[in-house]
Structure 1
Amino acid sequence: MNKNSFAKVPPMGWNSYDYYDTAVNEEQVKKNADYMAAHLKEYGWEYIVVDIQWYAHKAGSKREQFQYIPFSGLEMDEYSRLLPDPERFPSSAGQKGFAPLANYVHSLGLKFGIHIMRGIPRIAAQDHMKIKGSEVTADMAANPYSICPWNPDMYGLNHSPAGQAYYDSLLELYASWGVDFIKCDDICNTCNQSPHRENQYNAAHEVEMLANAIKRCGRPIVFSLSPGPALIDRAWHYEKYANMWRITDDFWDDWKYLKDMFRRCELWQTQVSEGCYPDCDMLPLGWIGKGFGKERMTGFTREEQRTMMTLWCLFGSPLMLGAEMTKMDDWTLSLLTNRKVLALLPPSCRPRQIFLDEDKAVWTACDEKEGTLYTALFNLSDETACVSVGLDDLGKEFEEDAALTDLWDGTSSRSENLEIRAILPAHGCVLYQVLIK
């Protein structure tokens, strides 16, 4: 099966990390799934993703000292494969894994995803544990020099039959659970690894091995690579083997990160295609940060939140919400349920940034199927400012002024003198559908 058939539009869903960090539990996942099914599913939101360290005992219990507790106990089967911690995920007891939770999510008409670290548990290598489908044990498949500098759980895998057998066994297990989405970490850009700083994509062989395992498992599973920044000169490799790849490191609710995304999106704007999505990372909206000891409403202003949603949708990024959905307010919900803005996501709506400097940015897109033209004007400065664009700069020929529909508030207007102009507040934007005869 062609991997691109797994994700014909950018995946849209929820990820537990921004609110819960390492400590999310089964009840919390279910409550967020219930909310999505009731309030967001009809708008295209469908993935429920359990993020990092679902297998770690007492994860998050020493957050003031460690994000990832060194040498903590890990739940594991006899074949070196990590299992959910039954204390946090009671339905997984008896090595049922995530199958019961995935079944619950599927019963709501949603899809289920998990985070994994690339490689094999270090403790499995140390104890010479078995690998299903191989005569070689974990210590011989592991590469002890390939380590993640910020998480102590795993060794990378050698490019070997034993390494492939391990990943094949993982995907066999995940498919049996009903997993629909995998976010693999410490794989998209490994520039922080020593002694491999000269090769920022030294885990490329593990991307290929995981992609091969997905093909063999018999289940369509979306394959997401993290963290960024992804390497533009390796775009062909990401596109060949993955469905999503992060173009930034962890993205949080600070204007400096959002402003920098215009540069990153410009770099990757021609690489968006069906089944292949440069990923701007999670949307830190609503209530976030509880697992980090800093529970708060997003630090983005409302103008910045609208700017973020406009850029992510216009660019065609996957949308993964980081909020605790059970605390969703009406404003945040309105950002996530605007059908006209979400309609920009499909790859048929080709994006293009036509202007960027320190103070402003202008994007345009044309839906190849519908023939619909869009433009977005962004004020990147810290003061109210006028941002404009000539109609001829949008890639179409205009003989007269065009009718404009604001996709956020639904108001109508017209261009003047073949130019679109808007007075925008600091960090604000406007998104128009441009109606041409």
Structure 2
Amino acid sequence: MKKNKTLLAAGLLLGIVPCHAQKAASKTDFHQWAATPPMGWNSWDCYGPTVTEAEVRANADYMAKNLKSSGWEYVVVDIRWYVGNDTAHGYNEKNPDWNLDEYGRFIPAVNRFPSAAGGKGFKPLADYLHAKGLKFGIHIMRGVPVVAVQRRLPILGTKLTAADIYSKESLARWLHDMYTVKAGPGAQEYYDSLFKLYAAWGLDFVKVDDLSEPYHKPEVEMIRRAIDKSGRKIVFSTSPGETPIAEAKHVAANANMWRTVGDFWDSWEQLKEHFEVCNRWAPYIQPGAFPDADMLPLGRLGIRAERGDDRQTRFTPDEQRTLMTLWSVFRSPLMFGGDLPSNDAATLALLTNKNVLAVNRSSTHNRQLFRGGDLVAWTADDPTTGDKFLALFNAQDQELAPASEAVWASGLINRQTPGNAADVDITGATKLYLNVRDGGDGTAWDHADWLNPTLSGGGKTVALTTLPWRNASAGWGKSTVNKSVSGAPLLVAGKAYETGIGTHANSIIEYDLPAGSTHLSTTVGLDNAAAVQNTGGTLDFLVFTKSPYRPAPADSVRVPVLLKELGIASEATVTDLWSGRKIGEFTTEFAPYIRRHGAALYRISARKK
């Protein structure tokens, strides 16, 4: 209890523990297990549900050699490590090769994790990491395995079976491995048995999926109790998001980190949305309990991932710096998603800048200072020196024309919309732009399909899919002919289409039109890959015959900050934390130029009297 009081007192002194979180910190001591935001690597962005032990060890070796000295320590094996025959870019739900023990607990697939043979589980892999001074984590799904229920496998230490504790209510719609664990006899014992096993393996971190949105309070509490009973300090992360902000008090009392968004990928549109999300969650940052802005999709991604192909991150260098700057000043956990051994020097430099990482690890009173349109400023305090940290962002985009200027607009499309047919007059046009925009639901499930798009005129017809486009963008993934953006067949409202274009909001596909084209006919809809998700998937389809882009804003703009806004009344010295270079002395105002989609991070030191 003395340690808990010390932690709480420190949080109060730093001014970052909300009143509701003060009670949470005083009840347990698990917050001390991750007093600073966890930093590590997670296999999801590279390998989806197919990562192997050799790949985990290779990433761990790189971390130990190149990142450990900068504070990176967790190595996390993500989803479905218990399936021996899972598939890249999706999940094998037709004939999964399950691996589980006699008590209905999943165990590692030996063909992927050879050291688990002989009932050793993940202990040999955890031992390998621990010997390098690293920590080991896994991903699990909330609930009890469907296969354990079907086989009526016993629950350790009870006379009950998995069939006595399950419910079909509130199941994940995107993966069907698990049933809900209903509160009652055997439920807590089941979760206790899981974490007893994980503790025996030497687990240090657990990411529990399908837990945050919707928020499953009873299972959050059961997992918390099970971890506490396990006898091992296992950091608890809930996923995915957005966690309901109304549950901020509860999740902070039970978990070390919780997601604030759905899965985040290398999409500028998603990154830009984080300014609002981080501002909303900043009041809830506290030692040992951190809002989680999700993984860092940097470096080499998509080797066998759910989304996209093998690629380097689509973020530009400016956007990469924006990402690292915002995550650091927001004090988000830092979980790198790229393949570490594939890192280039620039990516390694992003991850090892000691000045920037110090803001993430030890700053306090983190908050948005102001937002003027797409010019954003954040600030935080250095509790040791009294200096201020200042992060400046230029999130300005090339503005799009309003929907009223389109030659055709679908109106809002969602999962209840069977499809919307269009016959668009394009007489006299030489250009065609197919534009899909997010419908405003705040989720990433915006898989859009242009189905059977056909040009006609002068007695001729031509399938648009047979013509090369000039340019194509997509919110994530890439626009694809005759497949959905997820790589699956085109499927809308239960109907399959052989011909079409799969893309993802926000998306613009540009064509040069054949001479004589007078009409475009097509059907549009939300692809099945989005329609089966838990939430979201709303779209606007637009057709333009003139560029939908407004003239681009300037490459760099001044972002002025009054020193008094930072609480500095005298002259101050400004240091650029990314470069380590002293900028100069300033009075009254500091107004640097910030590149479009870029960011800067400064230390502001008031002159000593």
| Cα 1:22/1:357, change in 2 over 3 Å | farther
| Cα 1:397/1:21, change in 2 over 3 Å | same
Cα-to-partner distance string for 1:98-117 (whole Å, 9 max, x where unaligned)? 00000001111100000000
Aligned counterpart for 2:82 among listed residues 30, 33, 55: 55
2:334 is matched with 319
Aligned counterpart for 1:305 among listed residues 296, 320, 337: 320
Question: TM-score, length-normalised on structure 1?
Answer: 0.94
1:225 aligned onto 2:397: no
1:216 is matched with 229
Which has the larger strand fraction? Answer: 2
| Cα 1:2/1:416, change in 2 over 3 Å | closer
Contact 1:60 1:67 in 2 (8 A): yes
Q: CA–CA distance in 2 between the matches of 1:112 and 1:240?
A: 23
Contact 1:143 1:155 in 2 (8 A): yes
Which segment is superposed worse, 107-116 or 402-411?
Answer: 402-411
TM-fit CA distance, 1:94: 1.6
Aligned counterpart for 1:38 among listed residues 65, 74, 77: 65
2:277 is matched with 264
Q: CA RMSD in A?
A: 1.3
Structure (1 or 2) with the larger CA radius of gyration? 2
1:8 is matched with 35
1:390 is matched with 562
Query: Which ranges in structure 2 are unaligned for 5 or more consecutive residues?
Result: 1-27, 398-552
Q: CA–CA distance in 2 between the matches of 1:163 and 1:144?
A: 14
Contact 1:184 1:226 in 2 (8 A): yes
Q: CA–CA distance in 1 between the matches of 2:374 and 2:133?
A: 43
Percent identity of paired positions between Structure 1 and Structure 2: 46
Contact 1:68 1:151 in 2 (8 A): no
Residue identity matched to 1:237: H
Contact 1:348 1:369 in 2 (8 A): no
Question: TM-score, length-normalised on structure 2?
Answer: 0.68
Residue identity matched to 2:263: D
Aligned counterpart for 2:576 among listed residues 406, 410, 418: 406
1:193 is matched with none
TM-fit CA distance, 1:60: 1.4
Contact 2:39 2:334 in 1 (8 A): yes
| Cα 1:318/1:424, change in 2 over 3 Å | same
2:112 is matched with 88
Equivalent residues in 2 for 1:16-415, closer than 5 Å: 16-60=43-87, 63=89, 66-190=90-214, 201=215, 203-292=216-305, 294-346=309-361, 348-382=363-397, 383=553, 384=555, 385-394=557-566, 396-400=567-571, 402-414=572-584
Contact 1:283 1:321 in 2 (8 A): yes
Q: CA–CA distance in 1 between the matches of 2:599 and 2:121?
A: 45
Contact 1:22 1:60 in 2 (8 A): yes
Q: CA–CA distance in 2 between the matches of 1:208 and 1:351?
A: 28
Residue identity matched to 2:158: S
Residue identity matched to 2:364: C
Matched residue of 1:211: which SS?
Answer: helix
TM-fit CA distance, 1:435: 1.0
1:421 aligned onto 2:591: yes
Contact 1:71 1:152 in 2 (8 A): no
Q: CA–CA distance in 2 between the matches of 1:300 and 1:357?
A: 24
1:194 is matched with none
Which segment is superposed worse, 339-348 or 425-434?
Answer: 339-348
TM-fit CA distance, 1:71: 4.8
Residue identity matched to 2:65: A
Residue identity matched to 1:306: R
Residue identity matched to 1:184: V
Q: CA–CA distance in 2 between the matches of 1:282 and 1:36?
A: 16
TM-fit CA distance, 1:156: 1.0
Matched residue of 1:291: which SS?
Answer: coil
Contact 1:130 1:137 in 2 (8 A): yes
TM-fit CA distance, 1:126: 1.2
Which segment is superposed worse, 384-393 or 85-94?
Answer: 384-393
Residue identity matched to 2:591: R
Q: CA–CA distance in 2 between the matches of 1:168 and 1:208?
A: 12
Which segment is superposed worse, 52-61 or 23-32?
Answer: 52-61
Contact 2:570 2:606 in 1 (8 A): no
TM-fit CA distance, 1:317: 0.4
Q: CA–CA distance in 2 between the matches of 1:79 and 1:357?
A: 56
TM-fit CA distance, 1:416: 4.5
1:434 aligned onto 2:449: no
Residue identity matched to 1:410: G
Q: CA–CA distance in 1 between the matches of 2:93 and 2:573?
A: 58
Contact 2:574 2:605 in 1 (8 A): yes
Matched residue of 1:371: which SS?
Answer: coil
Which segment is superposed worse, 169-178 or 132-141?
Answer: 132-141
Q: CA–CA distance in 2 between the matches of 1:58 and 1:67?
A: 9
Residue identity matched to 1:146: S
Between the two proteins, the alignment pairs up a number of residues equal to: 421
Q: CA–CA distance in 2 between the matches of 1:184 and 1:374?
A: 33
Q: CA–CA distance in 2 between the matches of 1:2 and 1:51?
A: 26
Cα-to-partner distance string for 1:360-384 (whole Å, 9 max, x where unaligned)? 1001111223322110111011342
